[in-house]
């Protein structure tokens, strides 16, 4: 196929839009792949949609290969389905009514609808099943950001597996894990498969696929020796051992005027920050006030505490703090107050400095178990400098984009929808489900984050908008056409830049758009009856006679 740039809707920009921050956002907009319509809302222009479709096709092939069956469910969904599942209350769900007042939901994924259909599965003989579709998802995000990284509307491939038992679900889950690895590999995207934090739903196992990038919302933890990888939210690191002062037989008051932060406290008392503790009062969804306690040099991991409390929570207000502890924020501690204390595991052994619940005072030598009775849990966030839990190697943290997420759902939805089947033993049982999502747009953003230089994008072949970009310089239009035709005959999709522009501008656009090879046709080369073939990613350039083009392409 040959497409002429002179007739293509391909508005490239010399400068990045002022509101773009992420590299992928800037380059996709500048290259004429996408345009913003509103916050978190993007149109895919012709070139962008070609890339999107290529990613979609790769996903389709890999999911089909594990037995997936493509179908299509509606976006507009009766609210009743969501009330049945219990997800109607989720804040990010878009809700609307028709003119008769009937309630609808715009789904953020399609578990409800697929489970609704799965009720037609009646016998174990029909299992397992993998059903999927590509469809538009809507999310009322509090804050869209980073171009394609977090949006309010996007196409997602979501697949659902239905099995007769856990073993079947495990098998379906592993099939998808394999498919996902192949999908990202084919897209030229480096990803890491990590266990995800299950959060408020609790108990469900899920894996994330994280692509390390320059910008993103996730943090990937990697061991220098390659034997450990995790999402920072769920990562287990081995922290350093604190330098404890001499222990005391009982807590001792110490006056600390004006000391509000851990840093101040450590230097004022001349103790290791790791030998202090930090108290964070929170209020759970059902109104309980809980004191979260972590080591002074640590940070609380909100997800972990949510899991531990089996409830979401918010920070306590100043008034609540004052009423419960009799002191302000900087002087709180677990001793002598009647509140539930959840202490991090690291506070189990040793003596720590804590707030005294008296403004301007702290306590030295506070010991869990002796001076207060906490519930212990792992609620600290992993931090740079922690050691690998497997080999003791150094852990690094880098930003990443979550491009895929696969869940073992179990019977959560089948129970609510009463999606049962008759098993071999004659008993009626609930379907055991899994769900598997991947976003092509996010995948594209991640690919750009991983494959670009200062001039623009360098697409991996499998997802490039066109295989070759033929730059036709003035005076050799005829030969440029012949070159494009030769590439086309060799089965390549060709973008032929036949615009009446200067060479520099065409080269700059070619670099920006990022097709894997650029073929320059100009007077300089024509004496040899040849063209210059340049590899976008490496910059290598070779002169190739036109008749040999199709044969030479593989080894540019």
Partner RNA sequence: CGGGGCGUAGCGCAGCCUGGUUAGCGCGUCGCGUUUGGGACGCGAAGGUCGCCGGUUCGAAUCCGGCCGCCCCGACCA
In the complex, which residues of this chain contact RNA (CB under 7 A)? 12-15, 17-19, 21-22, 36, 38-41, 142-146, 260-262, 278-282, 299-302, 314-318, 321, 329-330, 332, 355, 381, 455, 473-474, 501-505, 507-512, 520-526, 532, 534
Comparing CB distances to RNA, the nearer of 306 and 443 is 306
Please, are residues 553 and 517 in contact by the beta-carbon 8 Å criterion?
A: yes
Least distance from RNA to the Cβ atom of residue 156, Å: 20
94 in helix, strand or coil? strand
233 in helix, strand or coil? helix
Least distance from RNA to the Cβ atom of residue 441, Å: 14
Least distance from RNA to the Cβ atom of residue 361, Å: 13
* Residue keyed to tokens 């976006």: 75
Task: Report d(CA 370, CA 335) in Å as an integer.
Answer: 10
244's CB contacts (< 8 A; 6+ apart) are 272, 275, 350, 351
* Residue keyed to tokens 């009514």: 97
Least distance from RNA to the Cβ atom of residue 165, Å: 38
Least distance from RNA to the Cβ atom of residue 470, Å: 12
Comparing CB distances to RNA, the nearer of 124 and 268 is 268
Give CA angle at 48 (41, 462), nearest 5°.
Answer: 135
Comparing CB distances to RNA, the nearer of 345 and 415 is 345
268 in helix, strand or coil? helix
Of 155, 69, 114, 195, which is closest to residue 433 (Cα–Cα)? 114
Least distance from RNA to the Cβ atom of residue 259, Å: 10
Task: Report d(CA 51, CA 28) in Å as an integer.
Answer: 11
Comparing CB distances to RNA, the nearer of 196 and 332 is 332
Please, are residues 496 and 3 in contact by the beta-carbon 8 Å criterion?
A: yes
Joined tokens for residue 310:
């089996």
CB count within 10 Å of CB 438 equals: 27
Comparing CB distances to RNA, the nearer of 124 and 361 is 361
Comparing CB distances to RNA, the nearer of 21 and 378 is 21
Comparing CB distances to RNA, the nearer of 252 and 505 is 505
Comparing CB distances to RNA, the nearer of 355 and 374 is 355
Joined tokens for residue 37:
């319509």
Task: Report d(CA 346, CA 161) in Å as an integer.
Answer: 40
Comparing CB distances to RNA, the nearer of 449 and 511 is 511
Comparing CB distances to RNA, the nearer of 225 and 261 is 261
Task: Report d(CA 361, CA 258) in Å as an integer.
Answer: 9
Least distance from RNA to the Cβ atom of residue 332, Å: 5
Give CA angle at 433 (302, 195), nearest 5°.
Answer: 35
Least distance from RNA to the Cβ atom of residue 21, Å: 4
Least distance from RNA to the Cβ atom of residue 36, Å: 6
Task: Report d(CA 377, CA 243) in Å as an integer.
Answer: 22
Please, are residues 448 and 462 in contact by the beta-carbon 8 Å criterion?
A: no
Comparing CB distances to RNA, the nearer of 182 and 552 is 552
SS (H, E, C) 163-218: ECCHHHHHHHHHHHHHHHHHHHHHCCCCCEEEECCCHHHCCCCEEEEEEECCCCCE
Least distance from RNA to the Cβ atom of residue 523, Å: 5
Containing 255, the helix (H) or strand (E) segment is strand 252-255
HSE at residue 329, side-chain half, CA atoms within 13 A, is 10
Comparing CB distances to RNA, the nearer of 23 and 59 is 23
Least distance from RNA to the Cβ atom of residue 13, Å: 5
Joined tokens for residue 490:
């060799």
Least distance from RNA to the Cβ atom of residue 333, Å: 9
State the angle between helix axes of 23-30 and 440-450 in degrees (0 to 180), rounded to the nearest 10.
Answer: 100
Please, are residues 16 and 31 in contact by the beta-carbon 8 Å criterion?
A: no
Q: How far is residue 18 CA from its own chain's centroid? A: 25
Q: Which residues of 476-488 are buried (b: 16+ CB within 10 A; e: fewer)?
A: beebbbbbbebbb
């Amino acid at each position: 196929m040959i497409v002429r740039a002179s007739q293509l809707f391909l508005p490239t920009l010399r400068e990045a839009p002022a509101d773009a921050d992420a590299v992928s956002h800037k380059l996709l907009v500048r290259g004429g792949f996408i345009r913003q319509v509103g916050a978190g809302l993007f149109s895919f222009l012709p070139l962008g949609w070609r890339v999107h479709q290529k990613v979609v096709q790769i996903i389709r092939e890999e999911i089909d290969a594990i037995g997936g069956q493509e179908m299509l469910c509606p976006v507009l969904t009766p609210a009743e389905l969501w009330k049945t599942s219990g997800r109607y209350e989720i804040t990010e769900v878009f809700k609307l009514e028709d003119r008769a007042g009937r309630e609808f939901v715009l789904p953020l994924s399609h578990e409800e609808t697929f489970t609704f259909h799965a009720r037609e599965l009646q016998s174990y003989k029909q299992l397992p099943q993998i059903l999927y579709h590509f469809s538009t998802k809507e999310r009322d995000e509090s804050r869209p950001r980073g171009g394609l990284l977090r949006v309010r509307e996007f196409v997602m491939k979501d697949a659902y597996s239905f099995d007769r038992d856990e073993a079947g679900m495990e098998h379906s889950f592993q099939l998808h894990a394999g498919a996902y690895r192949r999908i990202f590999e084919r897209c030229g995207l480096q990803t890491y498969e990590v266990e995800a934090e299950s959060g408020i739903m609790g108990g469900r196992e899920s894996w994330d696929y994280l692509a390390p990038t320059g910008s993103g919302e996730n943090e990937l933890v990697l061991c220098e020796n390659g034997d450990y990888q995790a999402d920072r939210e769920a990562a287990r690191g081995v922290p350093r051992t604190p330098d404890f002062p001499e222990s005391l037989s009982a807590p001792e008051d110490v006056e600390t005027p004006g000391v509000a932060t851990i840093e101040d406290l450590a230097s004022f008392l001349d103790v290791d920050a790791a030998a202090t503790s930090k108290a964070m009062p929170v209020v759970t969804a059902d109104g309980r006030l809980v004191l979260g306690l972590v080591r002074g040099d640590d940070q609380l991991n909100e997800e972990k505490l949510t899991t531990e409390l089996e409830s979401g929570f918010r920070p306590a207000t100043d008034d609540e703090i004052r009423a419960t502890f009799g002191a302000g924020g900087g002087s709180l501690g677990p001793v002598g107050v009647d509140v539930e204390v959840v202490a991090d595991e690291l506070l189990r052994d040793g003596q720590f400095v804590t707030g005294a619940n008296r403004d301007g005072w702290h306590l030295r030598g506070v010991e869990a178990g002796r001076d207060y009775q906490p519930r212990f849990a792992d609620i600290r966030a992993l931090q740079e400098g922690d050691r690998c839990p497997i080999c003791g190697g150094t852990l690094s943290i880098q930003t990443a984009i979550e491009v895929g997420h696969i869940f073992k759902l179990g019977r959560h939805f089948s129970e609510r929808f009463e999606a049962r089947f008759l098993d071999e033993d004659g008993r009626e049982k609930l379907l055991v489900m899994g769900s598997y999502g991947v976003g092509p747009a996010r995948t594209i953003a991640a690919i750009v984050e991983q494959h670009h230089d200062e001039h623009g994008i360098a697409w991996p072949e499998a997802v490039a908008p066109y295989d070759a970009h033929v730059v036709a310089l003035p005076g050799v239009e005829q030969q440029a056409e012949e070159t494009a035709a030769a590439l086309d005959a060799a089965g390549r999709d060709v973008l032929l830049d036949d615009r009446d522009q200067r060479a520099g501008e065409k080269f700059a656009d070619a670099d920006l758009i990022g097709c894997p090879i650029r073929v320059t046709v100009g007077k300089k080369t024509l004496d040899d009856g040849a063209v210059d073939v340049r590899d976008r990613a490496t910059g290598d350039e070779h002169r190739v006679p036109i008749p040999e083009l199709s044969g030479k392409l593989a080894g540019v």
